Amino acid sequence: MKFSGWPEPGELVVGKVDEIEDFGVFVDLEEYQDRRGLVHVSEVASGWIKNVRDHVTVDETVVCKVLEVNESSQQIDLSIKDVNDHQRSDKIQDWKNERKAEKWMTLAFGEEMSDEQYTTVATGLYNEFGSLYDGFEQAAIHGKEALEPTDLDDEDVDTIVETARENVSVPYVNVTGYLQLRSSSPEGVDDVRDALEAAEGNGEVPDEIELTVTYVGAPEYRVKVKAPNYKVAEDALEQSADRARAAIGERGGSAEFHRERQTDDE
């Protein structure tokens, strides 16, 4: 999606070198409709420049910092030298992500989607998440719940979620803990089974979380959580242990929780 407005001074933009002159470089801005900027020779690279063409080539993709914008004269002054390697790498990755998200929009709504529908959906995602990519990523992780704050209708939300979950590769983290469950009652086996079912969430674990409980060796059970980030994973792990404690505690049993596996001689 290309913006119809103007970039802001200080903003990093992605552009393609269109024309090289002795006095500077003309750059077509990839993220803005019909916008072209000039990188003065003094802003191409640090130090004295003998030949601009030693530093950039036509059709090269560059990241520039916006120095000044003059809408009345249709002029955008840019700098290449003011962008460090880290900023350049991050900006290029964000730009590539947005291009990927634009393909997801086409997959979701088809080649024939109207400009009006595209603008409505894209604006809804931009306003809430700051980018198309982040909107699709959150939809893949959290489903419809992530899109509730937007003004998108239910049909569009369902389409975005379905497409996101089929195409977005979400980074996940894994955390592990260990439960020791004990019950001295005659129904001890049932007590432990109920506690394990509680630990697993009784079928109510959110879609973005994968939680499994496996047997290690009496009385110990391993709880593994896979989630989009460490906070969500750690919270899910603690909640799993709390549910197990409550379930077996109601039957007079006990539960201990450890982040690392404990041996008998510890």
pLDDT at 185: 85
Cα separation, 18 vs 220, in Å, equals: 66
Cα separation, 5 vs 3, in Å, equals: 6
| Residue 260 pLDDT class (50, 70, 90 cuts) | low
Greater pLDDT, 226 or 230: 226
Torsion sign over Cα 21, 24, 30, 35: negative
pLDDT at 262: 44
DSSP 32: B
- Tens of pLDDT, residue by residue over 123-172, are 999 999 999 999 999 998 888 889 999 989 999 999 999 999 889 887 78
**Which domains, from first to last, does the chain contain?**
12-82 (2.40.50.140), 86-167 (1.10.150), 173-258 (3.30.70.1130)
- Tens of pLDDT, residue by residue over 210-221, are 999 998 888 999
Mean pLDDT for all residues in the chain = 91
Q: Which two tokens stand for residue 219?
A: 């009385």
- What's this model's pTM, rounded to 2 decimal places? 0.66
pLDDT of residue 265 exceeding 50: no
Only one residue has tokens 């306003």, namely 127
Torsion sign over Cα 230, 233, 239, 243: negative
| Residue 120 pLDDT class (50, 70, 90 cuts) | very high
| Residue 1 pLDDT class (50, 70, 90 cuts) | low
Cα separation, 229 vs 56, in Å, equals: 40
Cα separation, 31 vs 60, in Å, equals: 15
* DSSP per residue, 198-244: HHTTTT-S-TT-EEEEEEEETTEEEEEEEESSHHHHHHHHHHHHHHH
Residue 173 pairs with which residues in a beta bridge?
227
Helices H / strands E in the chain, number of each? 7, 9
Nearest 10 degrees: CA dihedral of 53, 56, 57, 62? -160
Residue 3 pairs with which residues in a beta bridge?
32
Greater pLDDT, 169 or 46: 46
pLDDT at 259: 78
pLDDT of residue 110 exceeding 70: yes
pLDDT at 229: 81
